[in-house]
Amino acid sequence: MSSPHAAAAPVQHRDAGRWATALELGLLGAVWGASFLFMRIAADDFGPAPLVELRLALGSLVLLPFLWRARARFPLALWPKLALIGMVNSALPFLLFAWAAQRAPAGVGAIANAMTVLFTALVGFLFFGERIGTRRAVALLAGFAGVVVLASGKVAGMSVGWAATAGALASLLYGLGINLVRRHLTGLPPAAVASATLGCAALLILPLALATWPVATVPAASWWSAAALGVLCTGTAFVMYYRLIARIGASRASTVTYLIPIFGIGWAWLLLDEPLTWTMAVAAALVLGSVAFSQARAK
C-alpha cells in the first residue's frame, strides 16, 4: 500500500506551481503597468522620440545575449523583415504611447493597451483570412465602445480624446505586429527576435531622436524612469513573459492583459496622485470585459 504522503506530494507540487504562476503573472502585470507610469514621468522632459530611443536601445541590449546565442539563425536576408516588424510592433506604438503620456493620465494609455488582444483578432480577420466568430465580433464592438467612452472623458477639465485615440492606434499596430511575427518569424527564439526587432527599431528612429533631443537638462527622475522603461519594462519583462509562455502556454500567459490597466491606473494614482474618473472606470470595464468575453471558451 502506498503512503498517503506520496499521493499528497504531487497535489502540493501542483498547488505550489499555481501559486508561482499567479505571482509571476501579477509581477509581470505590475511591471508592464508601471511602463505607463514611467512614460508619464519622463515624456515631457525627453520628448517622445528620445524617450522611445532609450527604451528600445536598452531593451535590445538586455535581450542581446539571446540574439547572440541564436545568431546563426538570423541570416542577412531576414533583417529587412525584422526591421519592418520592429517599426510596426515597437517603434511606432511606443512613440504613440509616449506622445499620449504627455497629454493624459497614465491610466488612459494602460486601458487602451488592453485592446491589443481584440485588434490582433481583427487584423487576422481582415488581412490574413482568420475566422473571427460571433463572440469576438461582439467583443470588438464592446471594446470599441470602451475606447469611445475613454476618448470622451475629461481629466481636470482637459479632454483626453487624442491621447485615447493614440493609444488605440498603438494597440492596432501591436495587433498587426503580432500577426506579422506569427506568420514570418515562427520557429525563431522569441527573446532573440525581440532583441533584433527592438534594435532595428532603435536604429530607425535614431535620426528623429537626435533631431529632437532635449536641450534643457533632464531631471534625474526622468533618467531613472527612462532606464526602468527600457531595462525593466521592456527587456526584463520580455524574458519574464517568454518564461511564462514556455511553462503555461501563450493563451494562459496572455491573461496578463487584464492586469496591466489595473496596475497602470493603480501606480499612477498611488505615486502621481492621478485621479480615477468615471469615464476611465466605465471604459476599463467595457474594454477588459470585452477581452475576457472574447477569450472565454464556449461551453
Q: In this predicted model, what pLDDT tens digit does every residue of 165-196 receive, in sequence order?
A: 999 999 999 999 989 988 899 889 999 999 99
| Mean pLDDT along residues 258-283 | 90
- For the cut 50, the answer to whether the pLDDT of residue 3 exceeds it is no
- Backbone Cα Rg of the chain: 20
Report angle CA 42, 262, 102 to the nearest 5 degrees. Answer: 25
pLDDT at residue number 18: 72
Largest CA distance in the chain: 77
Grid coordinates representing 12? 502540493
| Mean pLDDT along residues 230-252 | 86
* Alpha-carbon dihedral sign for residues 251, 252, 258, 261: negative
pLDDT at residue number 292: 84
- For the cut 90, the answer to whether the pLDDT of residue 275 exceeds it is no
Predicted confidence band of residue 100 (pLDDT cuts 50, 70, 90):
very high
SS3 content of the chain, % helix, strand, coil (to 5): 85, 0, 15
- Which residue stretches of 155-189 are H helix? 161-184
CB count within 10 Å of CB 288 equals 21
pLDDT at residue number 63: 96
pLDDT at residue number 299: 43
- For the cut 50, the answer to whether the pLDDT of residue 285 exceeds it is yes
- Which residue stretches of 4-89 are H helix? 4-46, 48-69, 79-86
d(CA 120, CA 224): 32
β-sheet bridge partners, residue 154? 159
- 13-18's contacts with Cβ under 8 Å and 24+ in sequence apart are none
Predicted confidence band of residue 298 (pLDDT cuts 50, 70, 90):
very low
pLDDT single digits (tens) 85-99: 999 999 999 999 999
Rounded to whole angstroms, what are the CA distances from 119 to 92, 99, 179? 16, 20, 10
- For the cut 80, the answer to whether the pLDDT of residue 27 exceeds it is yes
Predicted confidence band of residue 245 (pLDDT cuts 50, 70, 90):
confident
* Alpha-carbon dihedral sign for residues 5, 20, 117, 84: negative
| Mean pLDDT along residues 266-293 | 89
- Those residues whose C-beta lies under 8 Å from the C-beta of residue 255, and which sit 6 or more positions away, are 25, 295
What global pTM score does this model have? 0.88
| Mean pLDDT along residues 112-138 | 88
| Mean pLDDT along residues 246-258 | 78
| Mean pLDDT along residues 234-259 | 84
| Percent above pLDDT 70 for the chain | 91
Phi and psi at residue 27, to the nearest 5°: -65, -40
Comparing 156 with 255, the larger pLDDT belongs to 255
| Mean pLDDT along residues 221-229 | 98
- For the cut 70, the answer to whether the pLDDT of residue 256 exceeds it is yes
Predicted confidence band of residue 156 (pLDDT cuts 50, 70, 90):
low
Q: Running DSSP on this structure, what letter comes out for residue 197?
A: H
Grid coordinates representing 77? 536576408
| Percent above pLDDT 90 for the chain | 59
Burial class (CB in 10 A: 0-12, 13-18, 19+), 237: buried
pLDDT at residue number 80: 96
Predicted confidence band of residue 158 (pLDDT cuts 50, 70, 90):
low
Grid coordinates representing 274? 492621478
pLDDT at residue number 157: 61
